[in-house]
Amino acid sequence: MPPACLTVLSWLAIGLATVSALWIAADIWLRGHRQQMGIMEAVWPVTALYFGPLAVWGYRRFGWPKSPTWRKERGGEPPELPGWSAIATGVSHCGAGCTLGDLCAEWVVFGAGTTIAGLSLLPEYIGDYVLALALGIAFQYFAIAPMRGLGLRAGLVEAAKADFLSLTSFEVGLFGWMALMQFVFFPHHIRPDHAAFWFLMQIGMVIGFSTAWPTNVWLIRKGIKEAMEMRPM
């Protein structure tokens, strides 16, 4: 079992992240700050599951100006955003697919008791990556297809091109951290039914965000991946 102090810290972090995600979701759906790019209405709350209050700041700074309701309330055009905001939003888009895939796959592997060579790490890697890639491509499709006017097949192909490298670079950071969790920090393995496991996974996802950043810079500059922004309506 993890130390009691780590368990308390973990519950605090998880609670803060959950409140942050619910606040963003309520602001979008109840207060009417709908996003011009619909997929971002899922991306922002999911990002808060690992970035917590920092995601709330990012949403208020970069998400609010993308809302037609916000522009009507304030009047005029939205403020000019820094260039790096498009990269940050693009990485969060990729990270949302990874996060949901990891959440689902970790519970499936744990519930099934799947191991390889007596360890659950490799099945977790496989499950996390496959499900994250599927969800990531779906997320990317709903960003790319509307902007480029693509049909289903062409949209999925372009989404796969845009998301494969981005998602892989995100998972490289996360998987490296998971290996440290398994073999260095907690050799006896913290399981998904421990709060500490998910707190450490939050840290791993932040690391994945940082390792995916350079890849997204390159993908967006090359025009392979769309910047997660649209012109004001």
| pLDDT above 90 as % of the chain | 58
Residue 231 located in a structural domain: no
Closest CA to 212 of 200, 220, 222: 220
Residue 135 located in a structural domain: yes
Average confidence (pLDDT) over 85-89: 90
pLDDT band at residue 232 under the 50/70/90 scheme: very low
pLDDT above 60: residue 231 = no
**Number of domains comprising the chain:** 1
Q: CA 196, 106, 225, 92: dihedral to nearest 10 degrees? A: -30
Cα separation, 66 vs 62, in Å, equals 7
Over the stretch 130-187, which tens digit does the pLDDT of each residue have? 999 999 898 888 878 877 888 888 888 888 888 899 999 999 999 999 999 989 988 7
CA distances from 23 to 15, 31, 45, 68, 170 (A): 12, 10, 8, 19, 26
Q: In this structure, are residues 24 and 44 in contact, taking their beta carbons and an 8 Å threshold?
A: yes
Full domain range(s) for residue 162:
4-221
Residue 158 located in a structural domain: yes
Residue 230 located in a structural domain: no
Q: Look at residue 101 in the predicted model and tell me its pLDDT.
A: 93
Which residue carries 């079992």 as its tokens? Answer: 1
Over the stretch 30-61, which tens digit does the pLDDT of each residue have? 988 898 888 899 999 999 999 999 999 999 99
Residue 228 located in a structural domain: no
Residue 157 located in a structural domain: yes
Residue 203 located in a structural domain: yes
